[in-house]
Amino acid sequence: MAPRFPLLPLVGALFSICVNTTAYADPIVVTSGKAVVAWDDPSYFTISGDEGFTLAGLFVRVPSSPQQLCFAGCAPGTRVDFSGVFGGPQDGSLGVATAATVDGITYSTFPPNVDLTGSLVFDAPTVVLPALTARDHATLTAPFMFHGHVAGFARSEPDSALFEIDLIGSGTAEVHFVTSGMLYAQPEVVYAFAPASPVPEPASALFLATGMAALGVRRYAGRYAGRMALRAPSARSCH
């Protein structure tokens, strides 16, 4: 009879796979703060949430916002998508951190030594610009739903993340214009966050549930595939 002992390391490895799982934190709900697509200054964001969470970034890349569409001016009647994206889906730059407190840990950000990557996505409706009045300035608003993913890296260790978090929230998109002649000009966009509603409206609840489901699929799809690859046809269970 062949000795059993050489199988013990394999049994131990399978046992470890079955009982050890990776814990993932729930998304952080952003309850206050704002993200600004500035007109003549660097774009930035400063946000906060429960349990002392704060995060702020400066010199943020903004590949998509109402400012791009109306940079040269928009005429009344123009349809403007009030959605916006900071950073990018492929670890886009979110600038440098000017403040960061995550999971109870406050990171030193002065002098600037923490780089941020990821994306902040603001989903808002399309707004038709109304007829101009005699005023010099105009502000139009629309609600938004928000989700994001952010990682912070110390410049001394760029290959190891200090933190990596998912974010959700909602609020109001404000687009400020200078009305010049017959155009809406010099747009500046402010995404202002609002406290979480204790009883969300059905549409908001559906949007939030969809965002949570998407995060769950992204997180667990890789783990499920890995587990299926490890299962042998004859394996019944792990004890």
What is the sign, positive or negative, of the torsion defined by CA atoms of 82, 88, 89, 95? negative
Q: Is residue 48 situated within a structural domain?
A: yes
Q: Is residue 231 situated within a structural domain?
A: no
Q: Is residue 185 situated within a structural domain?
A: yes
Residue 221 has pLDDT above 60, yes or no: no
Average pLDDT over residues 11-20: 40
Q: Is residue 223 situated within a structural domain?
A: no
Residue 155 has pLDDT above 60, yes or no: yes
Q: Is residue 154 situated within a structural domain?
A: yes
pLDDT band at 90 (very low <50, low <70, confident <90, very high): low
What is the pLDDT, as a whole number, of residue 92?
Answer: 83
Q: Is residue 9 situated within a structural domain?
A: no
What is the pLDDT, as a whole number, of residue 227?
Answer: 42
pLDDT in tens, 161-194: 999 999 999 999 999 999 988 899 999 999 999 9
Average pLDDT over residues 212-234: 45
Residue 82 has pLDDT above 70, yes or no: yes
Q: Is residue 225 situated within a structural domain?
A: no
Q: Is residue 3 situated within a structural domain?
A: no
Residue 129 has pLDDT above 50, yes or no: yes
Q: Which domain holds residue 185?
A: 25-217
If one counts the domains in the chain, the total is 1
Q: Is pLDDT larger for residue 214 or for residue 117?
A: 117
CA pair distance 151, 161, nearest whole angstrom: 6
Provide the whole-model pTM.
0.72
What is the pLDDT, as a whole number, of residue 36?
Answer: 97
Query: 143-147, 174-178, 216-220: lowest mean pLDDT where?
Result: 216-220
Residue 10 has pLDDT above 90, yes or no: no
Instruction: Tell me the residue length of the chain.
Output: 239
The mean pLDDT value of the chain amounts to 80
Q: Is pLDDT larger for residue 21 or for residue 95?
A: 95
